[in-house]
Structure 1
Amino acid sequence: MEKKNKMVILAVDDEPLNLDLLELAFAENTGVEFLRAKNGKEALEILDSGKDVDVILLDLSMPVMNGFETLKVLKSNEKFRYIPVIVITANAEEKKKALSLGANDFIPKPFDIEEIKLRTKNYVDIKHYNDFLRNVTTILEEQVKERTKQLQEALKLSKELEYEIALKLGKTAEFRDIETGMHIMRVSHGSKKLAELYGLPKEEQELILYASPLHDVGKVGIPDSILLKPERLTPEEFEIMKQHTIIGAKILDGGEKYPVLKAGKIIALQHHERWDGKGYPYGLKGEEIHIYGRIVAIVDVFDALISPRVYKPAFPLEKAIEIMREGKGTQFDPELLDLFLNNIESFLKIKERFSDKDEKNEGLDSRG
């Protein structure tokens, strides 16, 4: 930062002789620029012209605009309020009033040349130091804004990257089941929508959007003979299928410092738990099941009902809704299910948007 070397003094007095004496006092100093004004109006015009004044030597008794009026304007103006003002007057009674209006110092007339030179220099030094501090503060504030912007952009990129990874992980299971198509995208956006309807904070809505694609990641550990079996599973096979929740949680284990992986683990483990406690893998009941698991359970089952699978055709919408209603308070959280069914059109739009017949919809898209 460039240091200011010149001292700019503005003297304001209606007596030309007083201005001459003041100018003469600083004449031997080549580093001084001396400005003159015969009243407050002229002084303000000089300041408004853009002159970077370091100190003002101000008389109080002047025509047009006196010193008191000038002080009021100076100290109420953000641009000029930090300029030190030394009042020079023969009337000592006016000292308190001038100081109360913001004058920094007071020198009686007739003034001592050496005293006014020393006091002026001291106030100029203080002014330069305060200017430096304000400049540094401004620079730091700008740097903080820039760093904050960079951090926000980095966080946004990080979240998008986490979502992309979640999608890729989710598809490791999907690619083994050619009929699930855009299932994870519909579950992702449907879960966000239900979280929004439930009133979860926007941060959690976004988190469930990013984490729900991981709900079936554990299917990578299920044999093809079971995962792709076109007939109904035997009880033994179903017990093996249930393990995809445990496998998914193990895959995502250790990611506690990553919000998406942490939420994904919860969802993978709990999205087959039931409200009545008859789900798997742990038989959690009611609100023992995390809200993320309860939300994804509804969206996941509905999409499975209205989509074709290797073991069944797609159910008609009316039949799917009937099955969902039958699960109210047993399989599904009743409050969440009501929200879902009362807003079914929103979820059907998501179904249409991410249709299995339109693979170009596939990819990163975090819109609700």
Structure 2
Amino acid sequence: MNNGQDILNAKILIVDDQESNVLLLGDLLHDAGYTCVTSTRDPYAVYELHRKNCFDLILLDLQMPGMDGFQVIEGLKKIDSDGYLPVLVVTAQPSHKLRALTAGAKDFVSKPFDLVEVKTRIHNMLEVRLLYKKLEQYNQKLEQTVLERTTELRESEARFRRLTELSSDWYWEQDKNGHFTKIYGPVHEMLGIHVDDALDTISNDQGVQWNEAEREILEANLAARRPFLDFVYSRINPDGSQQYLMVSGEPTYDLFGRFTGYRGIGKDVTGTIISKNKSRAQSRANL
């Protein structure tokens, strides 16, 4: 609900070519406690006044010389592009009421004035208008918050990728069906695999001999959706050289606990493994 003082502090514009009507409505509003009331008898001035002041309510007479209220409404639409036109029309013609509402006005009061009705309609319309403005402000704040969070997320992802690049040779993600969805780093060259443009399928290059026992353990971990850390498996390349690869991965789940795939990192540890094997062999030879 809007605070009563917010409604009384709302900005109101009275537009009527008859000075008596301007005075009557002005006195009514001041007596009711409204503090920001402006008036004009010139319909041509309404557009600029509203552009500068963004009135919360415009009391608009429809029958005015030179430019009638319908023409004023059309001009105001160019300013209130958000679709909410805060116009309460004043008319003595019953046939004009529906036409004014169709043109974009939000409500109407009839001449001669019923002062209680006028005050009630003004209060109700201002209450709706201020609620609308608060909703608009909330949506703008929400949009800004989403933008800020999106920026933070992108920065976080960039930092994560950079850390991954520093600590490993590649980063990978799979969907729940085992298809690769993301790969960063020279995984193709290191693993000797071909991934199509959609990152959907994988095929091994000819001539590569994997250690099948190690591969079965890795595939079993993936099938059971178990996390694994620094798992090392090896292969013999077509040129006869031995290659060792170390991979870590973890299953991923959505907010409802449903399995969505895997993500992890990998590294070529051939140099490290061969160096350790040589050191062990040398140690045994020295015994």
Same fold (TM over 0.5): yes
**Cα drift, residue 84 of structure 1:** 2.2
Q: Contact conserved, 1:57 with 1:88, CA < 8 A, in 2?
A: yes
SS in 1 for 2:88: strand
Q: Is the 8 A contact 2:44 2:67 kept in 1?
A: yes
In structure 1, give the amino acid aligned to 2:149: R
Cα distance in 1 between the residues matched to 2:113 and 2:21? 10
Deviation at 1:63, TM superposition (A): 2.2
Which residue number corresponds to residue 159 of structure 1? 161
145-154 vs 35-44, greater mean Cα deviation: 35-44
Task: Verify the 8 A CA contact 2:89 2:107 in the aligned structure 1.
Answer: yes
The runs of 5 or more residues in structure 2 that have no matched partner are 171-184, 202-230, 253-261, 270-287
- Correspondence list, 1:50-89, <5 A: 51-78=53-80, 81-89=83-91
- Which residue, out of 37, 42, 45, partners 1:42? 45
Deviations 1:168-225 (A, max 9, x none): 9xxxxxxxxxxxxxxxxxx939859x999x8625999xxxxxxxxxxxx958x99xxx
Structure 1 segments unaligned to the other structure (5+ residues): 169-186, 205-216, 223-231, 269-368
% identical equivalent positions: 27
Cα distance in 1 for residues equivalent to 2:80 and 2:141? 19
Following TM superposition, where does structure 1 have runs of at least 4 consecutive aligned residues deviating by more than 6 angstroms?
A: none
Q: CA deviation at 1:64?
A: 3.0
1:29 aligns to 2:32 (yes or no): yes
Q: Between 136-145 and 157-166, report the one with greater CA deviation.
A: 157-166
Instruction: Give the conservation status (yes or no) of the 8 Å contact 1:74–1:80.
Output: no
Partners in 2 of 1:54 and 1:42 — Cα distance? 17
Which residues in structure 2 correspond to 1:131-150 (within 5 Å)?
A: 131-150=133-152
Q: Tell me by how many angstroms 1:76 deviates.
A: 4.1
For 1:43 and 1:195, how far apart are their aligned partners in 2? 71
**Secondary structure of 1:144's aligned partner:** helix
1:188 aligns with 2:186: yes
Query: Following superposition of structure 1 onto structure 2, how do residues 133-282 of structure 1 map, counting pairs within 5 Å?
Result: 133-167=135-169, 188=186, 191=189, 200=197, 218=232, 241=242, 244=243, 248=245, 251-257=246-252, 259-261=263-265, 264=266
How far is the alpha carbon of 1:7 from its aligned partner?
A: 2.3
Instruction: Name the structure where helix makes up a greater proportion of residues.
Output: 1
The structure that is strand-richer by fraction is: 2
Shift of 1:121: 0.8
Which residue of structure 2 aligns with residue 345 of structure 1? none
TM-score by length of 1: 0.49
Whether the aligned pair in 2 keeps the contact of 1:85 and 1:105 (CA below 8 Å) is yes
TM-score, normalised with respect to structure 2: 0.61
User: Could you tell me which of 16, 19, 22 is aligned with 1:16?
Assistant: 19
| Number of residue-to-residue matches in the alignment | 210
Instruction: Tell me which moved more, 118-127 or 56-65.
Output: 56-65
Instruction: Assess, with a 3 A threshold, how the Cα gap between structure 1 residues 203 and 132 changes in structure 2: closer, same or farther.
Output: farther
Q: CA RMSD in A?
A: 3.9
Pick one of 102, 105, 129 that aligns with 1:103: 105
The one-letter amino acid paired with 1:148 is T
8 Å CA contact retained: 1:74, 1:81: no
